Structure 1
């Protein structure tokens, strides 16, 4: 066991260069700067996480709104086509059908241009546009028009049911 005398300890403490006052201020400033930088880093990461959560919520709300509007659009198209097929259709009914389908086409085209539209919604709109822009609807043959309107129902019905399940309706 080594026994150190107090006088030897004091002599050892005198041999250490403790530095000047500016050295101490620089050391404390360096540690304080490092702590400040670390604080800003962690606060920035927290801000980025909160911003990401807010962006995710906004995108989810947007997708829900788009799905709701598409559901209403599909439901309206389905009602129009069902009404046309169930009733004895006159020339005026055919003109009305063409006008309503033209309005639905315009709505679908505008919805396709939405920024941030999910690809599955875009593809659903493409299927819808393909069905409602059938050339047979513009023709003169009543049977061909009825077949085209029936085809619209066959296309829209599964899309509408899928959206109803997603929206839990």
Structure 2
């Protein structure tokens, strides 16, 4: 097996096109999917492996923000539909066959995008709720540990 990290990011080649009086070259460029590298903050001594209540709060805040943003987009999307299909029911793109075909494609894309926004917003909201539960359990465990430490100090204080 070869060392995949030493390969270039992209492969590029110039390929001659169909023979003509003046040669023309077309380029081919392909991403190298075999190239592997680790992100900077992930590997080595800079990796953060501990969590505390503050970092959990920040993660919850980020998830909530993203969820609310997608939810806002979801509720604002009908404005796009009103622009594409005005009150008279005719397509804003026109009535010729290609315009009707494009309007149908847009309608399908609109519906799937709107549904996806709602799904992602709900998923992020559930993730934030789950992380809140993790934080609650974390704090409960910390409190239990504190109580155990206090009890141990009391026990060891009496024997000293």
For Structure 1 versus Structure 2, the TM-score category normalised by the shorter chain is 0.3 to 0.5
TM-score by length of 1: 0.37
TM-score by length of 2: 0.39
**Larger helix share, 1 or 2:** 1
**Larger strand share, 1 or 2:** 2
Which structure has the larger Rg?
A: 1
**Structure having greater relative contact order (Cα 8 Å, sep ≥ 6):** 1
